[in-house]
Structure 1
Amino acid sequence: MYFFKRNPVPMGVFRESGHLIRLLARMMIFSLHLVAGCAVAQSSPGSPVGPPPESPRLLPQFSPVVPGTALAFPHDFGAHLGFRTEWWYVTGWLEAPDKKPLGFQITFFRAATESDRANPSRFAPNQLVIAHAALSDPAIGKLLHDQKSAREGFGLAYAKEGNTDVRLDDWRMIREENGRYETTIQARDFTLRLSLIPSQPPMKQDKNGFSRKGPRPEQASYYYSEPHLQVSGTVTRHGKPSPVSGTAWLDHEWSTAYLDPDADGWDWVGANLDDGSALMAFRIRGKDGSKVWAYAGLRDASGRITLFEPEQVHFHPQRTWRSPRTDATYPVAMRIQTGATEWLLTPLQDDQELDSRQSTGAVYWEGAVTITRDGKAAGRGYFEMTGYVKPLKL
């Protein structure tokens, strides 16, 4: 589960330190505005300068999310370009030869813009691709992370239809025909080269993949997860590769209308449980702290799924951590009730805040957690909290 602002930064590929590239991108944007101004100036007097504001060429009609639509694989592993937003989101726990745990995150986002879709130019910014990567290491005590952003095109940034194949410069995630994912992330402070092998079929969330996110039926996404991915590969830091293995969770969601106008943000967890089960739970928070919506799904090792409706899902903060960078306060330890069951999330480390204001525009907490079930150790997962610095806008 993830998000980004309605207008993510539409610049060329960059890292946080890429001041020169950002400057060139701004110059390009200025040039495009200048060209557009010249085109208007050359129009003959009294003639229309373009289609009216309500024209679908200027305001593309994005596809709605509707109940009853069956997810179809492998097609739905790929991109859905007719929807406004989409993301492929991998989180997991790794273990190096020294047996010390690491958490990792790899996320690719696709955002459709409201530009003229009939524009045949290869420079037309119809789709934006954004990516985040992070590594949690308790020995460091804070999150290592990096981010990139680019408009789609020229083979350097894309999200392909038909199967998972997303790329942003030298960051890539691709799904092979046998279901295996290969990822390569060359971040500023680390490099991830990981293979992820499914051990279970996809978990279609909520109503067969139709996932409500609010009280109105259009506030929804198409959403499936791949829990219990078996991970192997290397993590490289300071030029030294280290072999790792572990388990991961993949989320893939696409939507056009996601959040209720009264929503402030959300809390979400995806957990691989030791008995082969998989838990996903979230709550959408209102601006007054109330619950706008909530849901949980628990799939046991045999494949049977138990669904929990909003009135059955409750989040109870247990302990908070205050960020020294943003001054945001996050409930990093959380108790979750799903029906009669209680789950307790405990972070691998408190500081797992990711500042993505140079790509998606948001600051959020995304971190590795252990989880207990009714007081007994149950598994590991990832916990995400958004909207604690400022309200989200999708």
Structure 2
Amino acid sequence: MRFGGFKRLRRFSTSRRLWVALVLLALLAAVLLLQQRSEPPDEDSGNGYAGLGEDAMEYAQAEPSHSLQFPGDHGPHPDYRIEWWYLTANLEDENGEPLGIQWTLFRQALASPDDEDDDSDSPWSTDQLWMAHAALSTPQDHWFDERFARGRPGPDQQGQAGVTTEPFSAWLDDWQLMSRDRDSGDLDSLSVTARGIDDDNTFGYRLDLTAEGPLVLHGVDGFSQKTADGQGSFYYSQPFYRVEGQVEIDGEMRNVSGRAWLDREWSSQIMGPAQQGWDWFSLHLADGYKLMAFRLRGGGEDGGDYLSGSWISPDGNVTNLDDDAIELIPTEHSEIEDREIPTQWRLRLPGQDLDVTVKARHPDRWLDTVFPYWEGDVTVEGSHSGIGFLEMTGY
């Protein structure tokens, strides 16, 4: 999901420069190793956004026959190449000003479980890399930061970054998403913290999340198909969080409240080789319904796009939406970082009598991270009203 090219470094400390250098060296070594062990790709084949369409090789494959199990699946899946714990929140401060936050932890495997060449005796050996993103936005401004860590060898996930299940805890340094009930492995009651620096501006947040509905499994029992030929990922969400807490902007503390959405996803090849990126919506509607919808550009029937989604009732019942049930049409574009980015959309679900305009609160929500993408809060107007988040990659 958010992997691309190294574009710029913002005011990294010496220790963070060291970590970035280590990460890039490890990534380079992994790419060279994979190139040596795999067959050359077809001339006209791609690998999608940041290589997420590359062949899964010896990694575990996401398949619809697998049944998700909790709390175990809240934790890491090192047999799969890529996964994330992805939180977004639509908030308001005490003056009614809207704010958006993002907290994301990514895990990337560098070698498949069948790789026998890992020098596990070395204190620097690792087969896992971790990356975290944090962002905070107001209607006028947008701040973001990122951090990196290497995983420790072996099954022990303790260290600079990792995830445990009982109690649930996900972290990279002091950026943490964890259960407030230390005897629980579920996701019903969490806290999230992060503090970063963007162009000398400090920002941060500490929020308490309380689920008011059940977990939602997308696709077929949690297997979310991503291409017409059947490949996909395991994907579930907790879209029912109520939020209370504080955000910090340059030392100023604001009390905030609102709604949050947590996505969990893992796969070894989340895209097909012909797909270059995606447009992903998570929406809270005023009548209590929620919507997850995505368009992967390419990979559909006859070379078209592949669309899918979940229509979620206020009590958590899910209606799966296939390609014929969703219309996603960009209606306005903005030039951001020399890219034409669609920042307003018409979204229709004829079967649900939904016909809305989804619009970015502010077009400039580009995350110029090591792996750049667009992520920001949106408004919903039309047959339904609401708020939510939009993510766009591969532009």
TM-score range, shorter chain: 0.7 to 0.9
1:65 corresponding residue in structure 2: 62
1:36 corresponding residue in structure 2: none
In structure 1, how many angstroms separate the alpha carbons of the residues matched to 2:242 and 2:24? Answer: 47
In structure 2, how many angstroms separate the alpha carbons of the residues matched to 1:262 and 1:139? Answer: 37
Q: Tell me if structure 2 keeps the 8 A contact 1:206–1:212.
A: yes
Aligned match for 2:163, one of 138, 144, 159: 159
Q: How does 1:325-336 map to 2 (within 5 A)?
A: 326-336=337-347
Q: Tell me if structure 1 keeps the 8 A contact 2:228–2:299.
A: no
Q: Go from structure 1 to structure 2 and tell me whether the alpha carbon gap of 1:182 and 1:28 turns closer, same or farther (over 3 Å shift).
A: closer
- How far residue 346 of structure 1 moved from its aligned partner, in angstroms, is 1.5
Q: Go from structure 1 to structure 2 and tell me whether the alpha carbon gap of 1:183 and 1:31 turns closer, same or farther (over 3 Å shift).
A: closer
Q: Tell me if structure 1 keeps the 8 A contact 2:285–2:384.
A: no
Give the TM-score normalised by the residue count of structure 1: 0.80
SS at match of 1:214: coil
Residues 36-69 of structure 1 deviation map (CA, whole Å, 9 limit, x = unaligned)? xxxxxxxxxxxxxxxx958xxxx98321111122
Q: How does 1:1-394 map to 2 (within 5 A)?
A: 2-5=1-4, 16-18=10-12, 20-21=14-15, 24-25=18-19, 61-114=58-111, 116-117=117-118, 119-140=120-141, 143-153=142-152, 155-161=159-165, 164-175=168-179, 176=181, 177=184, 179-188=188-197, 189-217=202-230, 219-286=231-298, 291-323=304-336, 326-340=337-351, 341-357=354-370, 361=371, 363-372=372-381, 375-388=382-395
- How far residue 314 of structure 1 moved from its aligned partner, in angstroms, is 2.3
1:39 corresponding residue in structure 2: none
Paired residues in the alignment total: 347
- How far residue 343 of structure 1 moved from its aligned partner, in angstroms, is 2.8
Q: Go from structure 1 to structure 2 and tell me whether the alpha carbon gap of 1:99 and 1:124 turns closer, same or farther (over 3 Å shift).
A: same
Q: Which amino acid aligns with 1:104?
A: I
In structure 1, how many angstroms separate the alpha carbons of the residues matched to 2:271 and 2:136? Answer: 28
- How far residue 202 of structure 1 moved from its aligned partner, in angstroms, is 0.5
Give the TM-score normalised by the residue count of structure 2: 0.80
- How far residue 28 of structure 1 moved from its aligned partner, in angstroms, is 6.2
In structure 2, how many angstroms separate the alpha carbons of the residues matched to 1:233 and 1:384? Answer: 24
Residues 326-385 of structure 1 deviation map (CA, whole Å, 9 limit, x = unaligned)? 21111101012233432320111121111112xxx2x2111111113xx23421110111
Q: Which moved more, 1:220-229 or 1:60-69?
A: 60-69
Q: Which amino acid aligns with 1:370?
A: T
Q: Go from structure 1 to structure 2 and tell me whether the alpha carbon gap of 1:65 and 1:138 turns closer, same or farther (over 3 Å shift).
A: same
In structure 2, how many angstroms separate the alpha carbons of the residues matched to 1:206 and 1:60? Answer: 24
Q: Tell me if structure 1 keeps the 8 A contact 2:295–2:306.
A: yes
Percent same amino acid at aligned positions? Answer: 33
- How far residue 287 of structure 1 moved from its aligned partner, in angstroms, is 9.5
Q: Which amino acid aligns with 2:14?
A: L
- How far residue 292 of structure 1 moved from its aligned partner, in angstroms, is 3.2
Q: Tell me if structure 2 keeps the 8 A contact 1:335–1:342.
A: yes
1:42 corresponding residue in structure 2: none
1:49 corresponding residue in structure 2: none
Q: Go from structure 1 to structure 2 and tell me whether the alpha carbon gap of 1:164 and 1:121 turns closer, same or farther (over 3 Å shift).
A: farther
Q: Go from structure 1 to structure 2 and tell me whether the alpha carbon gap of 1:22 and 1:106 turns closer, same or farther (over 3 Å shift).
A: closer
Residues 65-102 of structure 1 deviation map (CA, whole Å, 9 limit, x = unaligned)? 11122211111111112111010111111111111110
Q: Which amino acid aligns with 2:87?
A: V
In structure 1, how many angstroms separate the alpha carbons of the residues matched to 2:275 and 2:259? Answer: 32
Q: Tell me if structure 2 keeps the 8 A contact 1:204–1:225.
A: yes
Q: Go from structure 1 to structure 2 and tell me whether the alpha carbon gap of 1:322 and 1:287 turns closer, same or farther (over 3 Å shift).
A: farther
In structure 2, how many angstroms separate the alpha carbons of the residues matched to 1:162 and 1:261? Answer: 37
Residues 190-241 of structure 1 deviation map (CA, whole Å, 9 limit, x = unaligned)? 0111111111100100111000011222x21100011121111110122222
Structural RMSD (CA) = 2.8
Based on CA coordinates, which of the two structures has the bigger radius of gyration?
Answer: 1
In structure 2, how many angstroms separate the alpha carbons of the residues matched to 1:347 and 1:242? Answer: 23
SS at match of 2:100: strand
